């Protein structure tokens, strides 16, 4: 089924025991009415995403945006870049090292430390 006005489509298959539906485009426009119809007929609905039976339509939540993430990241990178400028003469090598640093567990730990420091400052 393709609904151009809703900017959504679905495709499915049915067996004796299951109906499998794949949604494309605007998920809410087709999925919620189909969910309500199936539940109204007594069917169980299963989410392939989290592997759970769904008894009520999930409420969408606005994602929490960490507005301080970029500032924390810049502080951590600037500190490391400053250290590297004192020990590594080649700019290309410093850039390569910083690229590795950003992917490292130490970087994630430093980011977590920065977040805790921010939180403690905000509580004061």
Report the pLDDT value the prediction gives residue 104, as an integer from 0 to 100. 93
Please give the model's pTM, rounded to 2 decimal places. Answer: 0.47
pLDDT of residue 122: 81
| Nearest-angstrom CA–CA distance, 99 and 108 | 13
The confidence score (pLDDT) of residue 31 equals 84
Q: How far apart are the first and last CA of the chain?
A: 57
Over the chain (124 residues), what is each successive 10-residue block's mean pLDDT?
80 88 84 89 85 86 83 92 94 94 92 90 79
Spatial contact of 29 and 8, defined as CB atoms under 8 Å apart: yes
Q: Which of 57, 66, 56, 50 is nearest to 112 (CA)?
A: 66
Could you give the CA distance from residue 40 to residue 37 in angstroms, rounded to a whole number?
Answer: 5
Q: What is the pLDDT of residue 99?
A: 93
The pLDDT, as a whole number, for residue 28 is: 81
Q: Give CA separation, 32 vs 4, 58, 61, in Å.
A: 17, 9, 16
Structure tokens at 104: 């490292």
């Amino acid at each position: 089924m393709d609904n151009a006005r809703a900017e959504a489509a679905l495709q499915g298959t049915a067996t004796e025991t299951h109906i499998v539906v794949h949604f494309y485009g605007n998920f809410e426009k087709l999925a919620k009415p189909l969910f309500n119809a199936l539940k109204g007929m007594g069917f169980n609905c299963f989410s392939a995403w989290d592997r759970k039976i769904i008894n009520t339509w999930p409420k969408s939540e606005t994602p929490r945006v960490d507005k301080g993430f970029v500032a924390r990241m810049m502080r951590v990178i600037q500190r490391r870049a400053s250290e590297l400028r004192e020990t590594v003469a080649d700019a290309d090598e410093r850039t390569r090292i910083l690229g590795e640093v950003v992917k490292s567990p130490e970087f994630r730990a430093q980011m977590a430390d920065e977040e805790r420091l921010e939180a403690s400052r905000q509580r004061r």
